[in-house]
Amino acid sequence: MRTRTDWLAHAVLGLGVILFAFPVWLIFAGATQDAGAINRGDLSLLPRLSHLGIFFSVLRHGGADGKIPVWHMLMISAGMALGIAIGKIVISFLSAYAVVFFRFLFRRIAFWTIFITLMLPVEVRIIPTYAVMANFGMINSFAGLTVPLLASATATLLFRQVFLAIPDELVEAARMDGAGPIRFLRDILVPVSAANIAALFVILFVYGWNQYLWPLLVATDPRLDTIVIGIVQLIDAGSVLTPWNRMMAMSLLAIIPPVVVVVAMQRWFVRGLTEVEK
């Protein structure tokens, strides 16, 4: 069969790529221009390479006068994303280990209690969760941003699946070698699930980085503003006074870290995503 160029496929995919890439190019170009020019509607699609300094300026001084510097928001976002990703993986890994490899009282109840969290997204329990947080004094604390989001039914289910698929012979052999539960966990389970851990890390990092409603509720102190919160706040104030170029620079800085994580770990991510959800 003669292979010829599939022009239709290139056209459709090319348009798709542009649909997603264009807004990002737009904010890159816009960030380097005068706020006044953008306000007048003179937004050029050609970036002014001499004005790339705007990104450093935003990092140091924030999106608008008197705002928290963007580097600080990025640190909070990174802390939140890493805390949630690592925390969720650790506690889900441990609880799946307990549920699969041990027999204990209330094992089934424990499993179903974890499972039920699937059905209770933050969005449906906004007010009472806030009240609980206030009672514990966790409003406006970094722990408040992360700890309540750490329970994960999906991660627990995934690890359970992986652990159930480990052959009995392997477990037996490890026990013959005198491996106790802790050594088994460290020397067998962790290496066996490494690919799943990598995939979950990508998914959960993005999940943590992109949180909006949760930080909006529990952290009113500007020093705990994540980058996502910071951007939406600025656009809320949206008016003639909005420094559009600085906002665009901020938006670009906000999407770079999670995009880098997804693209760099694409192979694990794609396989993991389709496995996690099934």
Least Å distance, CB 212 to other proteins, is: 4
List Cβ<8 Å contacts ≥24 apart for 222-226: 222/67, 222/68, 223/68, 223/72, 224/76, 224/140, 224/141, 224/142, 224/145, 225/68, 225/72, 225/73, 225/76, 226/73, 226/76, 226/77, 226/80, 226/145
Least Å distance, CB 90 to other proteins, is: 8
Least Å distance, CB 153 to other proteins, is: 9
- Closer Cβ to other proteins, 82 or 262, answer by number: 262
Measured between alpha carbons, how far is 76 from 84 in angstroms, rounded to an integer? 12
- Closer Cβ to other proteins, 61 or 252, answer by number: 252
Measured between alpha carbons, how far is 223 from 219 in angstroms, rounded to an integer? 9
Three-class SS of residue 241?
Answer: coil
DSSP 8-state code for residue 271:
H
- Closer Cβ to other proteins, 16 or 53, answer by number: 16
- Closer Cβ to other proteins, 125 or 186, answer by number: 125
Least Å distance, CB 190 to other proteins, is: 14
Asked if 47 and 55 touch (Cβ cutoff 8 Å), the reply is no
Measured between alpha carbons, how far is 138 from 132 in angstroms, rounded to an integer? 9
Least Å distance, CB 157 to other proteins, is: 11
- Closer Cβ to other proteins, 98 or 192, answer by number: 98
Least Å distance, CB 184 to other proteins, is: 8
- Closer Cβ to other proteins, 75 or 235, answer by number: 235
Q: Phi/psi zone of residue 235: left (φ > 0), alpha (ψ -120 to 50 degrees), beta?
A: alpha
Asked if 32 and 245 touch (Cβ cutoff 8 Å), the reply is yes
